[in-house]
Chain A
Amino acid sequence: MDLFIKFLVAAVLAGTPLLFGTAGEIVSEKVGHLNLGVEGMMSIGACAGFMAGYYSDSFLIALIAAALGGALGALVYGVLTVTFMANQNVTGLTLTIFGIGLSNFIGVYALSFSPNGTLKLPEGITAHMRSIHIPGLSDLPIVGELLFSYNPFVYLGVVLAIALSFYLSRTKTGLNVQAIGENPAAADAAGIRVIRWKYINILLGGAICGIGGAYCSMIINSGVWISNCVGGLGWISVALVIFAGWKPANAIYGSLIFGALRVLKYYVPKSYVNVPVAVYDMLPFLITALVLVVSSMHKSKGVNIPASLGLNYYREER
């Protein structure tokens, strides 16, 4: 039982960066833009957040820098796909390569100024990133550990996902945004500022991904900079969007499940189930692939995939 709770806690921690990545990508896909640059935006966010935190020793500044970094990556993507109508797949992929390269590059560059050959976040900021402690609540048995023992990112992610869910499905703006993803020409004719909202959503998505990246660089490696710290989480996030059915609220449990799959190998006792570690590592991807295939097998009108996903829009096209 104790092990199981530890497992759940680890799953939440492992799933949080996925939650940010997935939520960010959903926001972008809702306006019809499949951004394969999640990994890149997360990398830029990771680097920007870490460096800002390293030099400012402020959690808030780090968070803002990470969001700005991710949004900046998204801006490149947005300009190229929304205004210049470039191919979304290729642009996103290039953004990923760019983002990973840039963040590794800057990491190495910053390391060259470090006296001891490593970059470690200063004490002031790490204090902010520790698990919260709410007197009373956090001390509750089981519940305290399960619900009130995480670092601030976790709560930020959940609140964000719920807020996005509300934004997309309950507000007028959300309705308009969904219309853009379904049929931009119809949205345009109805008087929605298609280009503006595409940019807003793409940038917002990038900012959220950037925060997810900061989680990778600041939390996962306990405040020490390492290259490639996002390490494929961005790609899983892209896949998780399908798993979550384009709903940010679903992304919460989707990322929890995927987080669980990622840490499963540490918690399954070898004496009961002896499966090679590689199989555990493979599981999230295998399951996503299966979800992808199965959901395509019975495709109905009920599926949430935005109808114009991947297609650029030009008003005067005939």
Chain B
Amino acid sequence: MSAQISKEPLIRVIKRAERPPRQVTMLRALALVLAIVAGGVFILCLGYNPISIYGTILSGAFRSTMAVQATVKIMIPLLISSLGVTLAFKMKFWNIGAEGQIIAGAILASYFALYHDTWNHWVLVGVMFLAGAIGGGLWGLIPALCKVKWNTNETLFTLMLNYIALYVVDYLRDGPWKDPGSQGFPKIARFSKNAMLDKVLGIQMGWIIALILVVVLYIYLRYTKQGYEISVVGESSPTAKYAVMNVRKIILRTMFLSGAVCGIAGMVQATGSDITLTENVAGGVGFTAIIVAWLAQLNPITIAIVSFLFSVLEKGSSVVQSSFGLSTDCADVLQAIILFFVLGCEFFIRYGFVVRKKGGAS
């Protein structure tokens, strides 16, 4: 028999014993360093000095009180919606719909900001907060309902809901909520002062809400029965069934909460930063939130740190734009490169490569 046998491949993948936690942390740190180096090489290719660009990003985000305030302002919606998607991701429910849930929350909160701005300020803020949560929550509940009922693919469905929410804003802007004082230009009126979130330390109070949510989510996921249920359902649904958990109820509840937290992000952005409702209220934050949540391994405390660093990158890159003429989009590019490297490094926790031995049997 003349069999054609390939040589042993030069490199092949093997499964290895899982690395201990310390090595895993080292691996991730290494991935981060490599990502920054890769970003640097890219900058170098464009003919700029990476060190001065990175330096400008850092100094740009911290150079003045105003800059720091702006950085925090960028962080608020990112942090809150990262927390939101974390709830769903912990359950392995692929909620790509944070964007839409942010918008839905913002829409419902804006209703009160526009049409009930005569209420007592704190009552109004409270109601807007609840409205944001409920709006986002209901928007998150729709795909969850279809998931438990018909096993509808949530990744694609939540994605579609993003656009539907976006065009609801357009509809409101062009029609029912059109600012009569805008002389035909389609936009929604600026909220009155009474409907604005207060400022604390010169930044809208959303940052306090965000930090409170970090603590609440940390406790919720770690120390409550519901948090435990989310982890078990995410790990394996036969196990959840074995533990007599009502998986459907848990999915619905968790997706409502996930959407609600994102909705809060929308409310905070609309009433604290934009002071009106635009179709840019989410502006891609819902997608970046997924990167943040994944990088932070779905840990609320780490999410706070990562979203702060990402905000530094965003703010800093706007300074890079003004001083070097490079687009702020480099923040997105760098964020994505970081995640690419971290995603790649996860592989080495459980797998490894073996190189063919010299003169091996063949």
Contact = CB atoms under 8 A, between A and B. Distances in A.
B54 interface: no
Given A89-B96, A105-B326, A299 B332 contact: no
B164 interface: yes
Interface residues of B, number: 50
Contacts of A267: none
B336 A238 contact: no
Question: Which secondary structure dominates chain B's binding surface?
Answer: helix
Contacts of A277: 170, 174
Interface stretch (A1-9, A52-60, A217-225, A287-295): A287-295
Given A94-B340, A296-B153, A278 B167 contact: yes
Contacts of B344: 79-80, 84, 86
Question: Which secondary structure dominates chain A's binding surface?
Answer: helix
A289 B171 CA distance: 19
B151 A296 contact: yes
A292 B152 CA distance: 7
Interface in A270-300: 276-279, 281-282, 285-286, 288-289, 292-293, 296-297, 299
Interface stretch (A95-103, A146-154, A164-172): A95-103
A239 B157 CA distance: 9
Contact of A105 (B150, B175, B327): B327
A232 B163 contact: yes
Query: Most chain-B CB neighbours within 10 Å: which of A87, A93, A286, A297?
Result: A93
A90 B329 contact: no
Interface string B327-362: 101111101110110011011000100000000000
Nearest to B9: A195
B291 A94 contact: yes
Nearest to B284: A97
Contact of B336 (A94, A108, A314, A316): A94
Contacts of A89: 94, 96, 155
Contacts of B13: 83, 314, 316
B170 A281 contact: yes
A242 interface: yes
B174 A101 contact: no
B346 A86 contact: yes
A110 to B, nearest CB: 10
B96 A93 contact: yes
Interface residues of A, number: 51
A91 interface: yes
Contact of A285 (B15, B167, B290): B167
Nearest to B145: A293
Given A281-B170, A289-B161, A101 B329 contact: yes
B15 A316 contact: yes
Interface string B131-152: 0000000000000001000111
Given A93-B287, A97-B335, A102-B333, A282 B164 contact: yes
A85 interface: yes
Contact of A86 (B167, B284, B347): B347
A80 B340 contact: yes
A301 to B, nearest CB: 14
Contacts of B150: 293, 296-297, 299
A164 B15 CA distance: 36
B332 A85 contact: no
Contacts of A186: none
Nearest to B172: A278
A218 to B, nearest CB: 20
A86 to B, nearest CB: 4
Contacts of B15: 314, 316-317
A208 B197 CA distance: 47
A114 interface: no
Given A90-B294, A90-B343, A101-B329, 13 more contacts: A86-B343, A94-B339, A100-B332, A108-B325, A109-B326, A239-B159, A239-B160, A242-B156, A277-B170, A281-B167, A286-B160, A286-B164, A314-B351
9 A-B pairs with least C-beta separation: A101-B332, A98-B336, A108-B327, A278-B171, A282-B167, A278-B170, A84-B347, A285-B163, A289-B160
21 contacts: A36-B96, A80-B343, A80-B344, A83-B347, A94-B339, A97-B284, A97-B288, A97-B332, A98-B337, A100-B332, A101-B329, A108-B327, A109-B46, A276-B174, A276-B175, A277-B170, A282-B167, A285-B160, A285-B167, A288-B160, A314-B13
